Amino acid sequence: MSDHYDIAIIGAGVVGAAIAFELAHHELRVALLEARPDPGDEASKGNSALMCTGVDTPANTLERQLVRRGYERYMREAPQLGLPIRKVGSIVLAWDGEQTATLERELTSAASDGFDTVEMLEARDIYRRWPNFGPGIVSGLWIPGEAIVDPFSTPYAYVRYAVANGVDFRSNWPVASAERKSAQWTLSGPQGQIESGLVINAGGIRADHVDGLAGFHDFVVKPRRGQYIVLDKSARAIHDVIAMPAPTPETRGILISPTIFGNVLVGPTAEDVDDVDDRSVTQVGLSQLRHAMVRMVPALAREPVTTVFAGMRPATDKSTYQIIPRVEEGWITVAGIRSTGLSAALGIAEYVVGLIPSGMMRAKAKAALHPISVPDLSETSRRPWQDEALVATAPAYGEIVCHCERISLGEVQAALAAPVPPRSLKCLKRRTRVMFGRCQGFYCGARMQKLFDAASHG
Ligand SMILES: Cc1cc2nc3c(=O)[nH]c(=O)nc-3n(C[C@H](O)[C@H](O)[C@H](O)COP(=O)(O)OP(=O)(O)OC[C@H]3O[C@@H](n4cnc5c(N)ncnc54)[C@H](O)[C@@H]3O)c2cc1C
């Protein structure tokens, strides 16, 4: 394959993947370079998985504009890629007058920006609809459009679509240097060199380092860790709405939300850390989460915990998205997408493509595009083992290999054989839900490793 590209995107998190998805619609030579073995393996793998409407973003900001556009597009386009969406709505809770005033200000800001389905609820309505909330709530802001999605399959679907439509995806390709000569960038790494007229840096928590390779130093990444508790599936009978406290100037607080996989998620904490790779789960973090959970929904205290994890927000020393078009230099930075990137990604992608010099974007839109569809991993969708016709033609879909999540051999085999296959066992987990359940792979882990090794080496 050619090593000369019109555009090279550095980073296949949800943002870089969405930009590749967008560019795949044009007759351009595009490379998507990813340091990790799999796409979506950094900030994009540890988040709350909310598809946000934008109501809770600051008014009159690019972030609100792009989250809103990203949400609109996701609701329309994600189902065409096979991605599931559950519009469960979110309720932001107030326990006193001051918090109510904060929510009323949010409502006014939202209403003036045309978010017309958002409304204040009184305590009586809240307890009637969600009787499991703890005592003392005085009001809430109801945002019915907010949804839960699959955070792992989303970047995967964008990359799959991009690859199916001509983008060259290179994993295990950490860019180590960038040099500009005669209006071309030469990007080098352990795997070799490529040349590109334009570079888009979507390096997430490492975006400041990537910009530094090209001599740009406009911001510094200040990673913000978020720890989570995942409760067992039984918890969803108690709680099936996105619930969070009224925000403070420092944080949006700890939320409790159902997941698309049928669990209940509690988190995230908001901790500034020095090391971008420090995804530790701590005693202090867990007790903070537990305290918030018990206050909001006391009945969840008795629910078993399936797992705990931490994610890392790619925040910077600036409070806004760092989308910096350096058109003359052929380098666009797309960084600082801290807490809303899953929702905003398609909006960001469209906006970034709009920043590309028109000479380059004169490239025609492709006449024919190849659709793709990723497996729907939602707990509330029909599972493959429930599909009698499928099991009759392909019996491996009736052979359950992960009993906690009820995942069949057929699904694992299909994931291993799919385009852009998983390059790690952890990625196979995210592509199928195997080892996601109560036993966390205790019973099925060895067999999964064997299947993975056989597919990787044979
Ligand atoms: C705790 C938490 C909760 C969140 N909740 C939500 C939510 O509910 N809804 C929502 O919309 N958003 C949420 N987010 C935000 C969302 O997860 C991020 O905005 C998004 O994942 C950022 O994506 P990214 O592509 O910019 O970064 P990343 O996913 O980090 O991708 C950057 C990629 O660049 C690669 N890379 C870095 N350096 C190089 C190099 N030199 N060469 C090649 N590749 C390189 C990395 O390996 C990585 O894959 C949350 C985030 C966190 C951490």
Q: Measured from the CB, is residue 110 less than 6 Å from ligand 1?
A: no
Same domain, 131 and 236: yes
pLDDT tens digit string along 52-67? 999 999 999 999 999 9
Same domain, 236 and 305: yes
- Rounded Cα gap, residues 98 and 249, in angstroms: 13
Give me the number of domains the chain comprises. 3
Mean pLDDT over the full length of the chain: 96
Q: Measured from the CB, is residue 341 less than 6 Å from ligand 1?
A: yes
The 8-class DSSP code of residue 247 comes to P
Q: Any idea which of 31-35, 57-61, 66-70, 294-298 has the lowest mean pLDDT?
A: 57-61
Is pLDDT above 70 for 363?
A: no
- Rounded Cα gap, residues 397 and 197, in angstroms: 46
Of the candidates 20, 26, 127, which has an alpha carbon nearest to the alpha carbon of residue 349?
Answer: 20
With beta carbons less than 8 A apart as the criterion, state whether 94 and 100 touch.
Answer: yes
User: Using CA positions, which residue lies closest to atom 26 of ligand 1?
Assistant: 204
Same domain, 30 and 179: yes
- Rounded Cα gap, residues 60 and 280, in angstroms: 35
Asked if residue 371 is part of any domain, the answer here is: no
- Our CA dihedral for 422, 425, 427, 432, rounded to 10 degrees, sits at 90
Q: Measured from the CB, is residue 201 less than 6 Å from ligand 1?
A: no
Same domain, 197 and 253: no
The average pLDDT across 272-293 equals 97
User: What domain range includes position 439?
Assistant: 384-457
User: Using CA positions, which residue lies closest to atom 1 of ligand 1?
Assistant: 226
- Rounded Cα gap, residues 27 and 89, in angstroms: 39
The average pLDDT across 302-322 equals 97
Same domain, 246 and 138: yes
Asked if residue 368 is part of any domain, the answer here is: no
Same domain, 235 and 181: no
pLDDT tens digit string along 84-102? 999 999 999 999 999 999 9
- Rounded Cα gap, residues 132 and 92, in angstroms: 15
User: Is the preceding peptide bond at 357 cis, omega within 30 degrees of 0?
Assistant: no
Asked if residue 163 is part of any domain, the answer here is: yes
pLDDT tens digit string along 236-281? 999 999 999 999 887 889 999 999 999 999 999 999 999 999 999 9
Distance 345 CA to ligand 1 centre (A): 10
Please report where in the chains the tokens 């946000």 appear, as a residue.
52
Which of 22, 42, 323 to mutate for ligand 1's pocket (most ligand atoms within 8 Å of CB)? 42
- Rounded Cα gap, residues 169 and 191, in angstroms: 13
Same domain, 243 and 343: no
Same domain, 133 and 237: yes
Distance 322 CA to ligand 1 centre (A): 14
Asked if residue 231 is part of any domain, the answer here is: yes
User: Using CA positions, which residue lies closest to atom 17 of ligand 1?
Assistant: 44
Please name the amino acid found at residue 233.
K
Is pLDDT above 80 for 458?
A: no
Q: Measured from the CB, is residue 337 less than 6 Å from ligand 1?
A: yes
Same domain, 139 and 226: yes
The CA distances from residue 422 to 295, 302, 419, in Å, are 40, 36, 9
Tell me the two tokens of residue 275: 């090391």
Q: Measured from the CB, is residue 334 less than 6 Å from ligand 1?
A: no
Name the pTM for this structure.
Answer: 0.97
- Rounded Cα gap, residues 331 and 200, in angstroms: 6
Produce one character per residue of 181-213: b if its CB has 16 or more CB atoms within 10 Å, e if not.
eeeebebebeeeebbbbbbbbbbbbbbbebbeb
Q: Point out the ligand 1 atom lying closest to the alpha carbon of residue 224.
A: 53
Strand bridging mode 50-51 / 85-86: unpaired
| Residue 398: Cβ within 10 Å count | 17
Same domain, 167 and 288: no
Binning pLDDT at 50, 70 and 90, where does residue 457 land?
confident
- DSSP sequence for 327-366: TTTTEEEEE---S-HHHHHHHHHHHHHHHS-HHHHTSPBP
pLDDT tens digit string along 401-434? 999 999 999 999 999 999 999 999 999 999 999 9
Same domain, 256 and 274: yes
The CA distances from residue 62 to 9, 44, 103, 322, in Å, are 21, 20, 22, 10
Bridge partners, residue 326, by sequence: 331
pLDDT (0 to 100) of residue 16: 98
Distance 453 CA to ligand 1 centre (A): 28
